[in-house]
Every structure is written in C-alpha cells, then in structure tokens.
Amino acid sequence: MDRAQKEKVVEELGQIFESSGVVVVAHYEGMTVAQMQDLRAKLRDVGGSVRVAKNKLAKIALEGKPAEKMGDLLTGMTVFAYSEDPVAAAKVTDAYAKGNDKFVVLGGAMGSTILDQAGVKAVASMPSREELIAQIVSCIGAPAANIAGAIGAPAANIAGILKTIEEKAAA
C-alpha cells in the first residue's frame, strides 16, 4: 500500500468516525470469509456497514475527532461496524457476538461518548429509530381510535336494544 492509498484510507475512516451515529470495534480473529460476509449482509440490511483497516491508520484518522479516545481499543485484529442510526450497528454486532465466539465486541463510540462492552450492550437494548417512530405514531393514533370507538358505541348500544326488543316481540 503506497502513501496515496494510505491517505485515502485515513480520509475514509475519518468520514466514518465523524458521520456515523455509532461505531463498534470488535475482534474478528479466526472468523471465516463466509462468517464475515454474513455479518456484512446483516449490517447492510439495517443500513450499516463493516470496515477492516490497519489500527495505525485508524488511530491517525481518529486524531482530532470527537471519538479520539476510542483509539485505545485498537489492538489486534479489529473490525469497525458502523451505521447512521445510533442503535442499528450496536444491535447487529451484539446479536452476532452471541452466536459467534470468534467475534468479540470490544467497545465503540457514539459521537464523543466512548463505549465499553457494557455500553455497546446498553445501546443495543435501546429501540431503533423505526421502533421509536412506530411508538410515537401509535401514541398519536390512540386518542383518535378512542374517539372513534366512543362515537360508534351509542349506535352499537341502540342496535343491541332494538335487537332485544325485536326478539321479545317475536316471542
């Protein structure tokens, strides 16, 4: 890798560290190519991505960034999982680590907040952006459903009373 390629990698990593909602750092030593492709596919499904880079280049890219202290996690064979959604990459990596003992989450960063393993697990347990939107929509829609039910209730009561009167008259 020549100097120009290294500078390009440092620039790309810098963009990842600045623009991602969350970056998770993990060891992947011993994983097969198929397992890594599986992880990439799972992250792609939630709008995330995986990046493998030399630790030295990643540390250079972290200089001056809010997540600069994340450089302490960069030892051994590390991989970066990241996504714009602050929860998506953490959810996928946490779930993947449970099913694959060769994939070990070390920590990560969420903006300027450095996360340890427990921090990544805590972020993974939070609802995603889509889940939060669904919860808000259901809260907004609930009063309207209650009003529609209240408006429709008298008509249902009248229909029940008429049916009872009709049954008594027929008997």
Tokens standing for residue 86: 């602050």
Strand order through the sheet with 104-110:
48-52, 78-83, 22-27, 104-110, 113-115
The residue segments making up the domain with residue 41 are 3-126
Same domain, 77 and 117: yes
Same domain, 12 and 81: yes
What pLDDT, on the 0 to 100 scale, is given for residue 148? 61
**Higher-pLDDT residue of 83, 137:** 83
Q: What is the mean pLDDT of residues 73-88?
A: 90
Task: Write down which residue in 107, 126, 145 finishes a domain.
Answer: 126
Same domain, 103 and 144: no
What pLDDT, on the 0 to 100 scale, is given for residue 145? 63
Number of domains observed in the structure of the chain: 2
Query: What are the pLDDT digits (tens) for 38-77?
Result: 999 999 999 999 999 898 999 999 888 888 888 888 888 9
Task: Return the residue matching tokens 């100097």.
Answer: 3
Same domain, 90 and 48: yes
Same domain, 82 and 107: yes
What pLDDT, on the 0 to 100 scale, is given for residue 43? 93
What pLDDT, on the 0 to 100 scale, is given for residue 95? 92
Q: What is the CATH number of the domain that holds 22?
A: 3.30.70.1730
Same domain, 155 and 120: no
Q: What is the mean pLDDT of residues 13-20?
A: 87
Q: What angle do CA 164, 148, 161 make, to 5 degrees?
A: 10
**Global pTM?**
0.71
Same domain, 136 and 73: no
Same domain, 169 and 95: no
Query: What are the pLDDT digits (tens) for 32-47?
Result: 999 999 999 999 999 9
Same domain, 136 and 114: no
Same domain, 110 and 100: yes
What pLDDT, on the 0 to 100 scale, is given for residue 105? 93
Of 89, 14, 97, the C-alpha closest to 48 is 89
Same domain, 29 and 112: yes
Query: What are the pLDDT digits (tens) for 86-132?
Result: 888 999 999 999 988 899 999 999 888 888 898 889 888 887 777 77
